[in-house]
Amino acid sequence: MEQVEEICDHIILVNKGKKILDGTVNEVKHNFKENLYRIGVHFLPEHLGTYLFEVIAHKQDELLIKLSGNTTPNDVLQYFINQSVSINYFQEKLPSLNDIFIRMVEDTATTRQFSNQ
């Protein structure tokens, strides 16, 4: 699926001979986004408690967060600015086509052959 993302503009996903979705790669990925963002920082503040987002994972200089409710990326950036955190990058994490396909055919024999069991 990685090669499909690199070379195709428009895709159709088929499961058991039936079309399950189609569109441009960008449209499909945006339709399945989960409001996840990667944020590169110089340092993390001691306390990240906020209603704006949930920290999904963190490394020494990177956070993976999920936005809450109607939170916008600008709200998150403003939060970090107010905490005096220097940001190296702020990037939306979109799902891969493989992740989307598995989600679309979940709990079928097709899914089991692609899962890491």
Do residues 25 and 5 lie in contact, with contact meaning Cβ atoms separated by under 8 Å? yes
- Tell me the mean pLDDT in the region 10-26: 88
The predicted pLDDT at position 62 comes to 92
Residue pair 66/54 in contact (Cβ under 8 Å)? The answer is yes
Q: What is the pLDDT of residues 48-86, one digit of tens each?
A: 778 999 999 988 889 999 999 999 999 999 999 988 889
Helix (H) or strand (E) holding 30: helix 25-31
pTM (two decimals): 0.77
The predicted pLDDT at position 107 comes to 63
Residue from 8, 14, 39, 38 nearest 26 by CA: 8
Greatest mean pLDDT among 1-10, 80-89, 101-110: 80-89
Residue 46 has pLDDT above 90, yes or no: no
Question: Helix, strand, coil proportions of the chain in percent (round to 5)?
Answer: 30, 30, 35
Please, which pLDDT band fits residue 109 given cuts at 50, 70 and 90? low
Least confident interval from 87-91, 99-103, 111-115: 111-115
